[in-house]
Amino acid sequence: MGAVAAMLHDEGYTVTGSDESVYPPMSTFLAEKGISIQSGYRPENLPTEDVILVVGNTIKRGNPELEAALEAKRFYLSLPETLKTYFLRKTHNLVVTGTHGKTTTTSLLAWIFEHAGKKPSYLIGGLPKNLPQGCTKQAGPYWILEGDEYDTAFFDKRSKFLHYLPELVIINNLEFDHADIFDNLAAIQKSFSHLVRIVPRNGMVLVNADDANALAVVKESPAPILEVGFSENAAVRIHDVRVQGETQTFRLFDTEFTLPMSGTFNVRNAAMAIAAAHFYQIPLPEIVKAVAAFQGVKRRQEIRGEVRGVTVIDDFGHHPTAMRETLQGLRHRFPNRRLWALFEPRSNTTRRAVFQKDLPSALALADGVFVAQVAALEQIPVHERLHPEQVVADINTAGVPAYYEPDADAIVTKLNPLLKPSDVVIVFSNGGFGGIHQKLLAMK
């Protein structure tokens, strides 16, 4: 929503909005744009003029602004409908999907097109460091979109990505997530199979060759399928991955690429973006240069600073698989350094007991762990709630020191005397986590 708001502002529209709680980096980004965001929802926030109201998918019936809009018969659209209606109908649309890696893959793909002079438009659910913002309309014929499987709006429970008129689809991987929307993995796969059905026959579906869940949804694709991955059966196979400090090299299309990111999962993300760019005939030497110059995305393994020799890293990770792979990547990036993982259960899935058994094994890859209180606990039925105390107990049983603390202040107070120079602290949260990054960097 914030990224599209910025794009519309740049296109000359007057943009205002409301949100429950706005936090960096998006809050500061919008403020710098001069976009006014009201904190809290009130009917008087609605403009009196006859304007388009774009309703985010977190807005539910009972929201005072929504109820006022419905009672006044105001004109409203979902975010995906807005994009489809006004921007995507006559363009070549590349849609990046999957449980993990969407933001990084979309950012890299958009950057490759930008680096090659294609002037792409793009929608990214984060702030890419190579690009000025997460959503921009440019003169080229391409739109590169991060395709979210989450529902569209309170009045449209289909996945957002079904509105994006895809010509090319990337499916990075598939796991169970969004427990508030989907009952099981099969329900998620059904939504992805619907996406595959709307790709035209002259389009393309790129799928993770190493992920059986992803392969299952493309079997009946009307469009050509290209399998990308490490598997021997992959049509586009990744070879010769080598870790070199904070960068990795690998071979694809008989060409060596250097990626300034850690983690095998990021190699696969890059391979997907490279294969998509290659499909649109961007020369491989140009792609090589773009990949080597990629700076990543804010809140994806982003170093926020250093204090007393301790490196503080921010990461958006909230699914056990994503956290596991991030911790494995950081082991290679920071060898022989102690790694502390701080986790805030905040997503609609991790606040529930869905990953009660998966979280301990993922977090135990660190040398020490802190788990915070479940965010907005009152919104989750008692029998569905995650039990963070048990997560901590299971990590301790695995031989890794772990602590349960209620909030950011308590975590920083407990962690501070335990830290040693050269330690690395990774913060996992898809929210603000009580400003914990700044509090860590203010330690004395």
Judged against a pLDDT cut of 90, whether residue 59 lies above it is answered with: yes
Whole-angstrom distance, CA of residue 8 vs CA of residue 2: 10
Selection from 288, 302, 296, 301 nearest residue 258 by Cα: 288
The pLDDT value given to residue 108? 97
Whole-angstrom distance, CA of residue 414 vs CA of residue 404: 10
Token readout for 221 is 């694709």
CA 310 to chain centre: 26
The predicted model gives 225-249 an average pLDDT of 92
Strands 142-146 and 368-372 come out as unpaired
Whole-angstrom distance, CA of residue 70 vs CA of residue 240: 57
The pLDDT value given to residue 153? 96
- Indicate the range of 124-128, 224-228, 404-408 predicted with least confidence: 124-128
Q: For residue 24, what pLDDT band results from cuts at 50, 70 and 90?
A: confident
The pLDDT value given to residue 9? 92
The predicted model gives 316-325 an average pLDDT of 86
Element at 115 (helix H, strand E): helix 102-115
- Decide if 216 contacts 194 (C-beta within 8 A): no
Q: For residue 321, what pLDDT band results from cuts at 50, 70 and 90?
A: confident
CA 122 to chain centre: 15
The pLDDT value given to residue 264? 87
Whole-angstrom distance, CA of residue 134 vs CA of residue 9: 13
CATH classification code of 302-441: 3.90.190.20
Judged against a pLDDT cut of 90, whether residue 211 lies above it is answered with: yes
pTM of this prediction?
A: 0.81
The predicted model gives 338-366 an average pLDDT of 91
Higher pLDDT pick, 132 / 112: 112
Homologous superfamily assigned to 2-74: NAD(P)-binding Rossmann-like Domain (3.40.50.720)
- CA distance between the termini of the chain: 37
- Decide if 274 contacts 387 (C-beta within 8 A): no
pLDDT digits (tens, 9 = 90+) for 158-167: 999 999 999 9
- Decide if 223 contacts 203 (C-beta within 8 A): yes
The predicted model gives 365-370 an average pLDDT of 96
Whole-angstrom distance, CA of residue 355 vs CA of residue 361: 10
Judged against a pLDDT cut of 90, whether residue 200 lies above it is answered with: yes
Every domain of the chain and the residues it spans: 2-74, 81-292, 302-441
- Indicate the range of 143-147, 177-181, 258-262, 418-422 predicted with least confidence: 177-181
- Decide if 121 contacts 138 (C-beta within 8 A): yes
pLDDT digits (tens, 9 = 90+) for 49-58: 999 999 999 9
What is the DSSP secondary structure assignment for residue 374, as one 8-state letter?
A: P
Judged against a pLDDT cut of 90, whether residue 318 lies above it is answered with: no
Give DSSP secondary structure letters for 78-96: EHHHHHHHHTSTTSEEEEE
Cis peptide before 25 (omega within 30 of 0): yes
Strands 151-153 and 156-159 come out as antiparallel
Q: What is the mean pLDDT of the chain?
A: 93
pLDDT digits (tens, 9 = 90+) for 375-412: 877 888 888 889 999 999 999 999 999 999 999 999 99
- Decide if 278 contacts 284 (C-beta within 8 A): yes
**CATH topology (fold) of 81-292:** UDP-N-acetylmuramoyl-L-alanine:D-glutamate ligase (3.40.1190)
Whole-angstrom distance, CA of residue 37 vs CA of residue 16: 6
pLDDT digits (tens, 9 = 90+) for 283-306: 999 999 999 999 988 888 889 999
Q: Beta-strand (E) ranges in 284-405?
A: 302-307, 310-315, 339-343, 368-372, 402-405
- Decide if 78 contacts 57 (C-beta within 8 A): yes
The pLDDT value given to residue 116? 98
Whole-angstrom distance, CA of residue 114 vs CA of residue 119: 5
CA 434 to chain centre: 20
Selection from 28, 41, 3, 84 nearest residue 17 by Cα: 41
Q: For the chain, what percent of residues have pLDDT higher than 90?
A: 71
Selection from 236, 234, 431, 405 nearest residue 317 by Cα: 431
- Indicate the range of 92-96, 311-315, 316-320 predicted with least confidence: 316-320
The predicted model gives 10-18 an average pLDDT of 92
Q: Phi and psi dihedrals of 21, rounded to 5?
A: -155, 125
Whole-angstrom distance, CA of residue 50 vs CA of residue 76: 11
The predicted model gives 223-243 an average pLDDT of 95
Higher pLDDT pick, 261 / 156: 156
Judged against a pLDDT cut of 90, whether residue 36 lies above it is answered with: no
